[in-house]
Amino acid sequence: MGVVTRRSSMTFYSDGTDHYSHRVRIVLAEKGVSVDVINNRPDDLADLNPFNSLPTLVDRDLTLYLDTMIMMEYLDERFPHPPLLPVYPVDRAKTRLFVRRAEFEWCPHVDTILSTKSKEAAVAKSRKEFRDHLLSFSAIMTDNRPFVMGPELSLADCVLAPILWRLPAMQIELPEKQCKQMLRYMDRMFSREAFMVSLSDSERDMRNA
């Protein structure tokens, strides 16, 4: 089934190489939102966002910035189908907790590895520690749970998939024997039509080089 496009007067100012921007683009694609995605920083962005930061989401009179989780939850409420947060409060809290843990434990390593300003020793340390995190997480994944939080795609997947897409750029290779479940998960996520739609040209090059 193709991605259904819904009309919207929305603009997303995005960094075409950034995994934080990518997660929001996945949500937009999964929701089938008609949006102008601008993968660069316009000269007048500061007029909309006082921090002049990417990503920035503009929907009519609303401008969201600084926190991509706020953007993703807003989109999930604004465009309810398909839902990307569970119905039940306990499951919603677990999904939010996964995202926060990923941002606390994983994202600092990802940011260090991908930053051109990081020192070589810091990159090596983060690469090892992040790879260890992935090995541990892969050990608890099962085929009975096709997505991170269960049988349905959620915001947790929208956060994790952009990170895993960047493994080649981070020079991290997962051992097939130990990470069989995670590799299968990556195949499922990366083959989704919405995921392919979400990719910028720069992100496509990360795995086509």
pLDDT per residue over 131-173, tens digit each?
A: 999 999 998 898 788 999 999 999 999 999 999 999 999 999 9
Q: Residue 69 domain-assigned?
A: yes
Q: How far is CA 106 from the centre of its chain?
A: 12
- Look up the CATH number of the domain holding residue 16: 3.40.30.10
Q: With respect to residue 95, please indicate whether it lies within any of the assigned structural domains.
A: yes
Alpha-carbon distance of 68 to 90, in angstroms, equals 22
Domain boundary among 78, 105, 139: 78
Looking at the structure of the chain, the number of domains it has is 2
Q: Provide the 3-class DSSP secondary structure of residue 50.
A: coil
pTM of the model: 0.93
Q: Is 107 left (phi over 0), alpha (psi -120 to 50) or beta?
A: alpha
User: What are the tens digits of pLDDT across the range 34-64?
Assistant: 999 999 899 999 999 999 999 999 999 999 9
Query: Are 61 and 108 found together in one domain?
Result: no
Do 164 and 107 reside in the same domain of the chain?
yes
